[in-house]
Structure 1
Amino acid sequence: MQITHYGHSCVLLDTGSTRLLLDPGTLSEGFEGVTGLDAVLITHQHFDHLDTERLPALMRGNPGARLIVDSGSAAQLGGLDHEVATPGQTLDVAGTRVEVLGGDHAVLHPDIPMIPNNAYLVDGTHLHPGDAFTPASGPVEVLFVPAGAPWLKVGEAIDYLRAVAPRTAVPIHQAVLSAPGQQFHFQLLENLGPKQTTMRVLTPGEATTL
């Protein structure tokens, strides 16, 4: 699988036959010119995962792509053609299996209403949890692990990484941290994560095979 990280939670997964873009949000850059997509997948409605200003142009540039969203994002799409996916579904996207996991966004504060959050497991190997510590349904090769967020303590991210125990962990959701803060959290994840897990911090905009 070839992976390109466009910052924060936005990643492009290219299987060689299928191209999937996940969570093109306002804190991500460079995804605007991506073409040849088979689907754009949105985990949830928050602005850092769903940029409603740039999404229409992205879809126009990819006229054959499906827009797959959680139930909470559907009302924000301004008439764009889309399909709502719910946890428990398994989708076939151009021959690639996408399992929809999850259910709810992680708790920010008890006074803030809960919203839906989809996690997406691609071909049973690459798991993007969105904004939640969604457990895997089986062994995972690559986990996109949230590294920093208002809803996250780094100790919780470490415990999540240990529970999933992937072959490779790619930190995402880091834009809310300063540059030194990012390096500190990445180091903690690497040092305290499972011994069998390799941490890979991807250079934004560069395709990497994992």
Structure 2
Amino acid sequence: MVADTGSARILIDPGAFSEGYQTLEGLDAILITHQHFDHLDLEKLPALLGQNPDAELVVDPGTAEQLRERDIAHTVREPGERFTVGGSTVDVVGGDHAVIHPDIPGITNNGYLLDGTVLHPGDSFTVPERTPDVLFLPTGAPWLKVSEAVDYLRAVAPPLAVPIHEAVLANPDLHYGLFSTLAPEGTEVRVAPRGVALAM
């Protein structure tokens, strides 16, 4: 997901299911929410960083070890931290990945709130202290059922929700329809075309 906030150009979670990001240039930052392969493609990351030598790679504590093993420069950020990149302010929120199954060890997960207006929660149900203008809404995953996504959408209640994390679904339109039907009053659900950057 590329977010053009008006101040910075930020790529979030260039993972194995993502497409079209490999040729991006002019990025100010690459933010990784957590270590799972669908959020971090370690094979393609070095080339992306090579095309964006001035971009800061920001990761959660759990991802850092994998990057150290590959000698990839990065900055570790934790929930509660605030930093500036390319003129945009980023607040790190959350802390834990949603439970996939009790038998699977938990991992860390950073959510990122850009300029106080755009929230990418990663694989979590982080509800920020104040309502963002835009919520990137997880749609389908092994850790997620649609009722939980709807409850999360209602808890955050943003003016705009953009469904993400849908690649595991055979037919994401079913989920998008449920989000639109069950969204709180005043929230528009806008489906982002695949491979197209959203200007907020």
What's the TM-score once normalised by structure 1's chain length?
0.92
Equivalent AA in structure 1 for residue 195 of structure 2: G
The C-alpha deviation readout for 1:180-205, integer Å capped at 9, x for no partner, is xx111111111001121000001112
In structure 1, the partner of 2:165 is 173
* Equivalent in the alignment of 1:56: 46
State the AA in 1 paired with 2:50: R
1:38-117 counterparts in 2 under 5 A? 38-77=28-67, 78-117=70-109
Letter in 1 for 2:176: F
Q: Do the aligned residues in 1 keep the contact of 2:90 with 2:112 (CA within 8 Å)?
A: yes
Question: Per-residue CA shift, 1:101-145, capped at 9, x if unaligned?
Answer: 001000011110010000000000000000000111202100000
In structure 1, stretches of 5+ residues that fail to align are 1-10
Name the CA distance, whole Å, in 1 between partners of 2:49 and 2:78: 21
Q: For 1:72, what is the secondary structure of its paired residue?
A: helix
Letter in 2 for 1:144: F
Show the 5 A alignment for 1:32-43: 32-43=22-33
The residue type paired with residue 200 of structure 1 is R
1:94 corresponds to which letter in structure 2?
Answer: G
Displacement of 1:153 in angstroms is 1.0
The separation in 1 between residues aligned to 2:96 and 2:129, in whole angstroms, is 16
Report the 3-state secondary structure (helix = DSSP H, G, I; strand = E; otherwise coil) of the residue aligned with 2:154: helix
1:166 & 1:149 partners in 2: Cα distance? 21
Amino acid at match of 2:159: R
- 1:197 equivalenced with 2:187 (yes/no): yes
Q: Note the residue ranges of structure 2 that are not aligned, 5 or more in a row.
A: none
Alpha-carbon offset, residue 76 of structure 1: 1.3
Report the Cα distance in structure 1 between the residues aligned to 2:41 and 2:198, rounded to whole angstroms.
24
What's the CA shift for 1:160?
Answer: 0.4
The Cα offsets for residues 134-181 of structure 1, whole Å up to 9 and x where unpaired, read as 1112021000000000000100000000010001000000000002xx
Aligned Cα root-mean-square deviation (Å): 0.9
Q: 147, 150, 161: which one pairs with 2:139?
A: 147
Structure 1 segments of 4+ aligned residues over 3 angstroms from their partners: 207-210
